[in-house]
Chain A
């Protein structure tokens, strides 16, 4: 009978249909699983790159901490070494000032002073100050022979410092003529292109008025001659201008990437824009610091003796040449601690300072160092101010060069560039690179970007669509053949074929529906991404405007700095105190 096998057949087809639909469901599940895995993988990659970045910064931090610790240990060691090798000089230095003050008030007997000076002479071989003290003691004891011999010995050990010492001491004791003679003697043997570091004391004395009017005039004359002499040497001038430029450049501000995040992301010219803005920020720092110096009220000490004592202190505490290598190391390690372990910046900083730690310097360099790093050469704020005023031409030139350099470095064309990869479902959409210049108005930029995006998204979306027409052809043909075969076996066969065809059609329809859903989801996601990118573009354009505003504001400060430098130049002569005071002291006699 037809029913039996027909029933069996129908049953088998039903089972088949069940199986097919279950397979279909399982495929759907697998599909979802793949999407989830893909998403998880992206997350993992993001986490990994974040972890790697954090690790790098940790390594750098650890390195820097190690540098700081090493530097601090070195600092302790070097300071001990300095103390150990040169500490005994401190006693002599203190004694020198003590003896002078004792002379002032006459509280100490000559015998004691003699004894002390002789003791010190024995205890500190080779030090120039010891015989000078013996000479002082002999002077107060009226022993000319001893005094002469002591002075000769001191002169032998260090002619320049001994002369300067006695120029100051005789001045302090109001022996104007003697002071002038010592001073003349001292100045005549100096070579302006290689002065010892003790010369800064002369500058200090001029600024404090310690030489008296005659001495001051003499010094001014000599200094004037030296300037004329050295200023014909272009190399030396260029070196001074360069130091000022470096000084200004060291006050650049930090990167502004956190204030302009979208511009930083979108524009390949961002590093140049950032550098230019940071450079323009230097003017503010320079202005604040130098204006403070200009306006500072520096009170000279009331008695000239105190002023000279201060200067004598500087003279005698000036580093011996032997100490210089240790001092340089000290400067480097201090810089490492100050820059938090950043070795390259510490080296830069230490180099700026160590010019002062050379054994001989030319006069112009001493002047620049007095202006830029007064403490490294042992001068006070007052001298610094006068030095800046004397250097005002080079200050101005260095400032002009610095300003010009960063202004010329602004890129003439700022562009926006996008080229991104997004993952959509199980596939990745790669947008080919697009870039355009911000000289175009924003509307045009947006339009160009949107059309570029649309142009490339369309084929991608199309590739995701399920073309049911094509897919249906083969099944249709197969079904027709099967139908013919089954129908020849009986009418029931035709129905079976129909049902099988229907199931197949149903499966194809399900696939079509799934693809339409995927397409809809993809379109939605891509539309959002497009919107995000357009927002970024708009944001970047707005930030570019902000950048220009910030830049102009910072750049404008350069005018204020120029005016300040001009003020320094004109104010040069009004700074030294004691003009009036010297007259008063004269009338006291």
Chain B
């Protein structure tokens, strides 16, 4: 199991001939899986958007831009942008504070930054910036993180989550907090601290509960009793379940889904695109999609475990779990197991920010791979 530099230098020229494609994209399986999911997403977007080519073109531009960024980042040495990542936390925090202070006009909640030609939600960016900056912070020194490091990173996650909660968006706040806690936990957060966090949570639970708005309390209660429908989202979920259920094993065929083509599925091009996939391609289509997602996640961990530095390993594994978690949350939401939260289906749902940020994250993952 032990490797030596000697073996490495001997094996290198023998293992493979120089392949320019491998040189550029670094991991063929991961790259083509990504391209596969992305192109499948474009097809689904065409169907889900009521066959609007303009939406597909727009998405295609983001995908191309995202892929170029990904390849570019993948050729950087992780150490070279480690510090930049660490400080990007402040950019994320600034954006979160900005939407609270200067809410964009025309939206009910202060979640959006609107540049006119395009708009985005900072919370969508912070979901990936936060874990990376925390990993970078925890790995800024060679030595093991100290108690103060654990507390600082935990506090940093809490602050971000709190800002999102203030938008107000409880669901996303919980997701942001989770994406902050995953790298902290993976980095080796001592069990004593974990225990004390739980203790603190239990003690402060009544105060947090009374600090929640009534509709948020109800939303938490729906988690415990999903049949009650205080949000009135029951109709949306019922339509989405009907779409997936009526798709059956083989689906109704591409562009033949009545639920999606006749607009019965709300937000079918963004958060609810999974139900369009289910309706038109059935259980087989869903399984194939899960298979490719599985390959992508397998590659992330494969690359992560064989990375050279602690920072690289932690970054990969954190991003891998977060990617898996986003898929899971979106699917569970669409099939009606958890309440509706604003999480798009990664790499497929319409939305430039989500695509670009995810591809950037894959750039970071690929950059840890040595050829």
Q: Indicate, yes or no, whether A interacts with B.
A: no
